[in-house]
């Protein structure tokens, strides 16, 4: 398993970026789904609460499922935000979303089981590999905002154990429409009704870590709110990593059927993947202050949307000038979906661009623009679509990088 585990293409690309920057080159690095803390710091109240918790010696082991105060606060947040009632013992706290997702796979997926997920999507292929399961990729289309339709998923669910979905979606920053998600929910319900008593159900993992970062008319929908009958089969993934720019604070959570959550608790208890106790205490304190949270989110979302819209308008301006680029209007998260249709063009050095890898290389070396191809998220290696992450971008970077891109595109023949 370890010998055949594939490394992250994003981290590999980031390594190339670091090498260029070490040589003194100015690179507009929009590859990592993270935040520059100097641009997007965590809420000041949360930062102080973390310091206070350490000063109060909150440094011992936390309970395996998370401290009670935080689970209670999360339960209230779920109730207020989604009108879903989950008891504190149906909630599991862990060190971010990654161990939560790992625990979901380990709890419900046996070796040889089938896991269905759309591509592009983040890391489902790696978690399936770690579970010795069979991967079923369903390639989503641009016309559906790179989100799968029920029609596309239907042929693969009959003998599947897990359907892994994410909305808002990493890497695209797009969201399911109400109808899209309802149709998929109905498929899952239909499949579980078809299965014999005692047969393992089809579970649905729903990653909503970016849920609060929706912009304009975009709305977040979830399976259990749309179809309450899905509650026994749905495990949610959430946390503060993206909503509070707190990726390094490492506080995430799952909520779902008590039986599954209990097994996940046991798995992560043995792994030791708890969120640090001081961070849990601080998060419980901060999240209970709804006014402070709302004030932070209003400003944070405004800044993220400003950058996303700036890049989108810049790409559309380039398109109007005749360059072979395009983008999907921003909906959510910290990502813009951008298309670079450059195959068949010739670089100033006389090289003909024939592959997506060559496009990526040209953008990095000529435009000084680092973005991640959708092929890094499981999509076809021929895909010309890319993820542009704004978590490390200043407002000035938006204008400057678009100008650098314009110059590089103009050199192609």
pLDDT in tens, 220-270: 999 999 999 999 999 999 999 999 999 999 999 999 999 999 999 999 999
Tens digit of each residue's pLDDT (9 = 90 or more) over 259-300: 999 999 999 999 999 999 999 999 999 999 999 999 999 999
- What distances in angstroms separate CA 363 from CA 50, 159, 292, 401, 413, one per listed residue? 40, 42, 41, 11, 15
How far out from the chain centre does Cα 115 lie?
Answer: 18
C-alpha pair distances (Å), 142 with each of 35, 59, 163, 379, 386: 26, 47, 21, 11, 12
Q: Provide the 3-class DSSP secondary structure of residue 171.
A: coil
Mean of the per-residue pLDDT values of the chain: 96
pLDDT for 305 equals 98
Q: Please report, rounded to a whole number, the percentage of residues in the chain having pLDDT higher than 70.
A: 100
Least confident of 23-27, 104-108, 145-149: 23-27
pLDDT at site 10: 78
Q: Are 101 and 127 in contact (CB under 8 A)?
A: yes
- Backbone φ and ψ for 62, nearest 5 degrees, come out as -85, 165
Q: Which residues are within 8 A (CB) of 304 and not within 5 positions of it... i.e. 6 or more apart? A: 213, 215, 334, 390, 391
Task: Read off the pLDDT of residues 71-84 as tens digits, 9 standing for 90 and up.
Answer: 999 999 999 999 99
- Which domains does the chain carry? 9-41+294-410 (3.90.1150.10), 44-289 (3.40.640.10)
Q: How far apart are CA 251 and CA 379, in angstroms?
A: 29
Of 12-21, 36-45, 122-131, 360-369, give the lowest mean pLDDT range.
Answer: 12-21
* Contact call for residues 251 and 279 (beta carbons, < 8 A): yes
**Cis preceding linkage at 120, omega within 30:** yes
Tokens of 23: 């040589």
Banded model confidence at residue 209, pLDDT cuts 50, 70, 90: very high
pLDDT at 9 over 80: no
| pLDDT computed for residue 342 by the predictor | 97
pLDDT of res. 37: 97
**What whole-number distance in Å separates Cα of residue 127 and Cα of residue 121?**
12
Banded model confidence at residue 15, pLDDT cuts 50, 70, 90:
confident
Whether pLDDT at 8 is above 80: no
Does residue 21 register a pLDDT over 90?
no
Cα-atom radius of gyration of the chain, to the nearest Å?
22
């Amino acid at each position: 398993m370890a010998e055949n585990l594939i490394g992250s293409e994003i981290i590999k690309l980031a390594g190339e970026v670091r090498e260029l920057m070490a040589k003194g080159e100015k690179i507009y690095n929009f590859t990592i789904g993270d935040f520059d803390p100097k641009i997007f710091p965590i809420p000041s109240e949360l930062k102080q609460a973390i310091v206070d918790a350490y000063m109060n010696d909150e440094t011992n082991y936390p309970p395996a499922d998370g401290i009670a105060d935080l689970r209670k606060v999360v339960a209230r947040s779920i109730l207020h935000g989604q009108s879903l009632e989950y008891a504190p013992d149906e909630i599991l706290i862990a060190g971010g979303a990654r161990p939560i997702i790992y625990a979901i796979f380990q709890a419900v997926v046996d070796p040889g089981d089938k896991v269905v997920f759309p591509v592009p999507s983040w890391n489902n292929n790696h978690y399936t590999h770690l579970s010795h399961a069979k991967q079923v990729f369903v390639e989503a289309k641009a016309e559906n905002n790179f989100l799968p339709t029920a029609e596309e998923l239907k042929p693969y669910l009959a003998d599947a154990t897990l359907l892994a979905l994410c909305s808002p979606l990493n890497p695209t920053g797009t969201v399911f429409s109400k109808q899209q998600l309802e149709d998929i929910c109905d498929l899952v319900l239909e499949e579980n009704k078809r299965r014999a008593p005692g047969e393992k159900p089809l579970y649905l993992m729903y990653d909503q870590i970016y849920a609060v970062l929706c912009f304009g008319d975009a709305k977040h929908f979830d399976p259990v709110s749309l179809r309450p009958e899905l509650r026994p089969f749905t495990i949610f993934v959430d946390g503060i990593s993206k909503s509070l720019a707190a990726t390094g604070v490492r506080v995430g959570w799952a909520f779902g059927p008590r039986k599954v959550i209990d097994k996940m608790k046991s798995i992560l208890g043995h792994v030791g993947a708890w969120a640090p106790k001081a961070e849990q205490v601080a998060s419980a304190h901060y999240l209970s202050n709804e006014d402070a949270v709302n004030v932070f989110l209003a400003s944070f979302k405004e800044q993220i949307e400003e950058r996303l819209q700036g890049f989108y308008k810049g790409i559309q301006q380039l398109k109007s000038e005749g360059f072979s680029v395009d983008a999907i209007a921003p909906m959510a998260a910290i990502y813009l979906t951008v298309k670079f249709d450059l195959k068949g063009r010739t670089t100033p050095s006389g090289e003909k661009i024939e592959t997506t890898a060559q496009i990526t290389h040209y953008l990095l070396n000529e435009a000084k623009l680092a973005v991640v191809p959708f092929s890094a998220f499981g999509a076809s290696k021929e895909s010309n679509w890319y993820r542009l992450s704004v978590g490390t971008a200043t407002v000035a970077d938006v204008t400057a990088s678009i100008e650098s891109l314009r110059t590089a595109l103009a050199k192609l023949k």
